[in-house]
Amino acid sequence: MALSRGQKIGIAVVVLLLLAALALLLLRQTQQAPETVNVPAPSEQGGTAALPSSGGAAGGTVTDITPAPKPQPQPQPAQPAVTVDERADARRLAMAFVERYGSFSNTADYSNLLDLKPLMTSGLASKTDAYVAAQKERSAVNAEFYGVTTRALSVQFQLFDKDGGIAKATVTTQRRESLADGTASLFYQDAALVMKLADGVWKTDSVDWGEKRNY
């Protein structure tokens, strides 16, 4: 059965309306904005904001990201206290005493010994006075010049008992012997000291010279 011209026009209008409706539907879907996730701003109290997961898809899970704590500086171990060498005073006094005690001349009137009396115990001081008096009686008035200069090189303690107040040490020295004619000789000699602690001060109680040697 043949369609009339009016029926054909009606069908064409219906088809056009359907196509227009379909096009409008597709246009609305393409223009629809994707769902967004609102991220709250951090509070003034330093709180952390909730951020979307790394997936990035709309409707994904939201997790709290807390900054890692800053590493705290580790305390340094305490440095050990510096220990003062308790022998330092005794060593220094022993070297100074022997240098002065062993340096003399027959024109100095035994001042090397008498000047050291404050650094001697009462026993050694008494022996020194007696020695000087005896030497002055025997000394010739017009004797030729004779002198010895002593230099302390090192100190070795054989005993050091601060609580007991006693120390024994060997002082190695270099000595130079001078004569009136200008000749001089060099030799080495050890001095054995006994020291005693009196009122917090080390004093020499005895001095004994060892054998002379060339080294």
Q: Give the tens place of pLDDT for each residue, 136-195.
A: 888 766 678 999 999 999 999 999 999 999 999 999 999 999 999 999 999 999 999 999
Nearest to 205 by CA among 169, 172, 175: 169
Is 172 within 8 Å of 154 (Cβ atoms)? yes
Distances 139 to 105, 148, 149 between C-alpha atoms, Å: 12, 17, 20
Nearest to 173 by CA among 157, 149, 196: 149
| 3-state secondary structure (DSSP) of residue 33 | coil
Check residue 182 and give left, alpha or beta (phi > 0: left; psi -120 to 50: alpha): left
What is the per-residue pLDDT for 173? Answer: 98
Q: On the CB side of 146, how many CA atoms lie within 13 Å of its CA?
A: 7
**DSSP-derived secondary structure letter, 117:** G
**In Å, how far from its chain's centre is CA 66?**
41
Q: How confident is the model at residue 13 (pLDDT cuts 50, 70, 90)?
A: confident
Q: Is the pTM of this model over 0.75?
A: no
CATH code for the structural domain at 88-209: 3.10.450.50
Cα–Cα distance measured from residue 57 to residue 34, given in angstroms and rounded to the nearest whole number:
10
pLDDT surpassing 80 at residue 62: no
What is the per-residue pLDDT for 18? Answer: 78
Structure tokens at 56: 């990035």
Question: Average pLDDT, stretch 10-27?
Answer: 76
In sign, the C-alpha dihedral spanning 192, 197, 198, 202 is positive
Domain boundaries, the chain: 88-209
* Residue, of 74 and 155, whose pLDDT is higher: 155
Backbone angles phi, psi at 46, to 5 degrees: 85, 15
Cα–Cα distance measured from residue 190 to residue 213, given in angstroms and rounded to the nearest whole number:
9
pLDDT surpassing 60 at residue 42: no
